[in-house]
Every structure is written in structure tokens, then in C-alpha cells.
Amino acid sequence: MGFLQFLLWTPAVIVFVAVAVKIYFKAITGICKSKKRVDGQVAIITGANSGIGYEAAKELARRGAKVILACRSIDKARKACDEINKSTNTSNAVPKELDVSDMSSVRKFAAEVLKEETRLDILVNNAGVAGLRKNILDNGLEYQFATNHFGPFLLTNLLMGLMIKTGKARIIAVSSVAHTWTKTLDLDNLNAEKFWEPKLLYARTKLCNILFTKELARRLKAAGHSGIVANAINPGGVKTAIFRHARKAFKYMVMVSQIYFKTPWEGAQPTIDIAVSEEVEGITGEYWENCKRSEPSELAQNEQLAKDLWEKSASLVQLKPEEYHL
């Protein structure tokens, strides 16, 4: 082959391969096949004003649930509810203020929900942040860890009484394949108590999502609440703003790989599937990828670590005896 021909064909081959790979990824993407409606149910989705949470909120509203969009900006929540109410021709989307990184905001939110709602069928711990700079809160919690793990831990415990009263409920943790990046979890350094090690911080928070889910499932079983199930999902790579705070090099890497990422609608499918589908009925403590059961990392399956993380988290968020249900 002449040099000119080579120059001509190389880009064509690259584009062809790229398109083929894209088509392949589209084909294996998990889409929720269940048509199940959830009329009369109440759902809470944290961080539902954008990305995966927004698309999941819209779909649950379309399927008939009252969906509380729990967001740190009430204005963004209202705007999202307005869009969802319009596009679903319902009034199912309801805004409510919640800063999941702030334990007093979590307590205030939960107290209001317990007062206003008579049931809770679906709880999606979706809000998350990644790649932020060091920020230790006044209570000693690290901000990213507080947002991705401690807040959801506290919120879930505080809402447990309502879910027990409802009898049947589904708790979903939006984790990530990033949980596999870390091979260790030092429970005495979750909040940079010993040293600041930002590289795998996000990964550790996503690992904690799975460990928490598994321990939660074990405790629910042990307490006889078999109708309440807890599962963790990996939504896959999704084109959202989650890495907007990350360092430049990482951001560029994400930008390039985004041509293969899912749309937010596709990325919300696993959340929707685990929230509604008949196939998930009674299944608990599992990790799902593309709407299929999958195996998380070895560390994520460490029962002792999960137990210890629960105890540590309960003590760090100062879970009071009256807030304990499990």
C-alpha cells in the first residue's frame, strides 16, 4: 500500500472500529424491560435534579408514584418537578430540600417526611460527588464521604421506621464500578483522620455503598423484615456532570471516553429496573450491572468489614438509640 493510500484509509478504519464498538456497547446496555406501574407508591430520590436521578424520577412519576425530589437546591428541585409534571402530565413530582452532606439537614428532611408521608416504598440514594478538594466539615466528616456515604447511611436509618410500617420497600444505592479501584479500606481514615489520600476517595465511597447495602440487607433479614430489600447498582459510564470537579487530566480522560458513555436516560435504567421490576421481588443484598446480578469486588463482599463500617458510621453520625430500627 502506498503512503498516500495508507493516510487515506487509516482514519476510515479508526472511525469504522469506533462506530462498531459504540454499536456493541449500545447493544449490551441494560434497559428496564418491566412495564410495571407503581401507582400509589411513594419514592424518594436524592440528587434528582440532574443526571441519573432526574431521569429515574421522571420515569417513576410516569409510572404513577409520588416522587419526592430530594435536592440541595430547592430552586433546582422545583424546576425539575415542573418539567417532570409537564412531561408526564401528572402532579407526581414533589420538591423537597435536602443537603445529604449535612447531617442536620438529613435529620430535618427525615423528620418532615415522617410527619407528612404515610408510606415509603422506594428510596434511591443517588446523590453523589466526585473529585473535590480536601474539605473537612465542622463535625469532622470529610465532605465527599459525608455526601456519598454518611448522609445516605443516616437518611436510610431515619426513614426505616416508615418503610417498616409500609411493609414492603426497596432501597437502592447508586454505586459504581469505581468501587473495584481500591484494594483497601481503612476505617480509621475515612475522613482523612490520619492522612489525606484523595486519589481513591471516590472509589472508597462507592465501595462503602455496597458494604452498607449488604450489611443493611443482613440486618433487615435478621430483624424479620423480609419485604424490605436493599440492593446496589452500577449504572455504567453515564454522560453526566459527576466529574465536573475532578482534576484536568482525569476530566480529559472522561471526556474522551464519553463517546462510549450512556445517555442519562440509559444510565437511569438500572435504577428504575431495581425500583420497579417483578424480577427483583424479594432479592436483597445484591450488586447489579446493566440490570443483571453481578459480583462486586472481594473487599465489597467482606462481611466483617461491612459490620465494622456500620458501627463506625453509626458512631460518626451519632445515630441515637431512638433512631435505631435494625
Ligand X SMILES: *[C@@H]1O[C@H](CO)[C@@H](O)[C@H](O)[C@H]1NC(C)=O
Ligand Y SMILES: NC(=O)c1ccc[n+]([C@@H]2O[C@H](COP(=O)([O-])OP(=O)(O)OC[C@H]3O[C@@H](n4cnc5c(N)ncnc54)[C@H](OP(=O)(O)O)[C@@H]3O)[C@@H](O)[C@H]2O)c1
Q: Which of 235, 270, 285, 296 binds ligand Y (CB under 6 A)?
A: 235
Write out the binding residues for ligand X, residues 89-148 only, by CB under 6 A: 89, 91, 93-94
Q: Which of these, 231, 202, 235, 233, lies nearest to 216 by C-alpha position?
A: 231
Residue 92 binds ligand Y (CB under 6 A): no
Closer CB to ligand X, 67 or 185, in the complex = 67
Q: Which residue in 36, 78, 168, 307 binds ligand X (CB under 6 A)?
A: 78
CA-based nearest residue to 296, from 173, 189, 127, 146: 173
152 lies in the binding site for ligand Y (CB under 6 A): no
- Residue 93 binds to ligand Y (criterion: CB under 6 A): no
Q: Residue 78 binds which one of ligand X, ligand Y, none, with CB within 5 to 8 A depending on kind? A: ligand X
Residue with Cβ nearer ligand Y (42 or 203): 203
Q: Which three cell numbers stand for residue 310?
A: 456500620
Residue with Cβ nearer ligand Y (122 or 129): 129
- Rule CB under 6 A: choose which of 38, 43, 44, 47 binds ligand Y: 47
Binding partner selected for residue 81 from ligand Y, ligand X, none, CB under the kind-specific 5 to 8 Å limit: ligand X
Q: What residues form DSSP beta bridges with 39?
A: none
Which region, judged by CB under 6 A, interacts with ligand Y, from 41-49, 111-119, 157-165, 188-196?
41-49
Q: Which stretch binds ligand X (CB under 6 A): 74-82, 117-125, 236-244, 267-275?
A: 74-82
122 binds, among ligand Y, ligand X, none (CB under 5 to 8 A by kind): none
Query: Using CB under 6 A, which of the segments 43-51, 188-196, 216-224, 280-288 binds ligand Y?
Result: 43-51
Q: Which is nearer to ligand Y, 71 or 110 (CB)?
A: 71
Residues designated as active site: 202
Secondary structure of the chain in HEC code, one letter for each residue: CCHHHHHHHHHHHHHHHHHHHHHHHHHHCCCCCCCCCCCCCEEEEECCCCHHHHHHHHHHHHCCCEEEEEECCHHHHHHHHHHHHHHHCCCCEEEEECCCCCHHHHHHHHHHHHHHCCCCCEEEECCCCCCCCCCECCCCCEHHHHHHHHHHHHHHHHHHHHHHHHCCEEEEEECCHHHHHCCCCCCCCCCCCCCCCCCCHHHHHHHHHHHHHHHHHHHHHHCCCCCEEEEEEECCCECCCCCCCCCHHHHHHHHHHHHHCECHHHHCHHHHHHHHCHHHCCCCCCEEECCEEECCCCHHHCHHHHHHHHHHHHHHCCCCHHHCCC
Give the one entry of ligand X, ligand Y, none that residue 82 binds, where binding means its C-beta sits below a cut-off of 5 to 8 angstroms depending on kind: ligand X
225 vs 264, which CB is nearer to ligand Y? 264
CA distance 72 to 97: 6
Q: Which stretch binds ligand X (CB under 6 A): 84-92, 121-129, 149-157, 293-301?
A: 84-92
List binders of ligand Y among 122-141 (CB under 6 A).
Answer: 126-129
73 binding ligand X? (CB under 6 A): no
82 forms part of the interface with ligand X (CB under 6 A): yes
Residues at the contact surface with ligand X, assessed by CB under 6 A: 78, 81-82, 85, 89, 91, 93-94
